[in-house]
Amino acid sequence: CMNYVFPASYAWGNFTVLAVGIWAIVQRDSLDAIVMFLTGLLLTVLTDIIHISVFYPPNNYLTDVKRFSIGMAIFSLLLKPVSCYLVYRMYRERGGE
């Protein structure tokens, strides 16, 4: 559904952060992985805001698929601060300061 509204950079950015997040979960002793994941999440918050604001279509071009895509992107953006908080707690548990 993202293909109808957002460019490929939106998907690539979020899927890259997802891959780094899987790496951070698998490597429980690596502090670098969790720092990269937290940095990636914070960066995608900024890029998601830019993508949503730049590529939001006019009202007369909104179809149901576009409306759903934008709704899911906004929902993902709203959940990212919670994810950042949880990842920061993992960072502190692993010995980060």
Is 74 a domain residue?
Answer: yes
pLDDT for 27-71, tens place per residue?
988 899 999 999 999 999 999 999 999 988 888 888 888 888 889
- pLDDT band with cut points at 50, 70 and 90 for residue 3: low
pLDDT digits (tens, 9 = 90+) for 77-96: 999 999 999 999 999 988 87
Give a yes or no: residue 76 inside a domain. Answer: yes
Asked if 13 and 47 touch (Cβ cutoff 8 Å), the reply is yes
Residues of the domain holding 68: 60-96
- Give domain status of residue 72, yes or no: yes
Residue 68 lies in a domain: yes
Q: Is residue 1 part of a domain?
A: no
What sign for the dihedral angle of Cα 8, 13, 19, 21? negative
Assign 39 to helix, strand or coil: helix
Q: Identify whether 30 is part of a domain.
A: no
Amino acid 30: pLDDT = 85
Domain tally for the chain? 1
- State residue 59 phi and psi, 5-degree precision: -60, -35
75 within some domain:
yes
Question: Please, which pLDDT band fits residue 13 given cuts at 50, 70 and 90?
Answer: very high
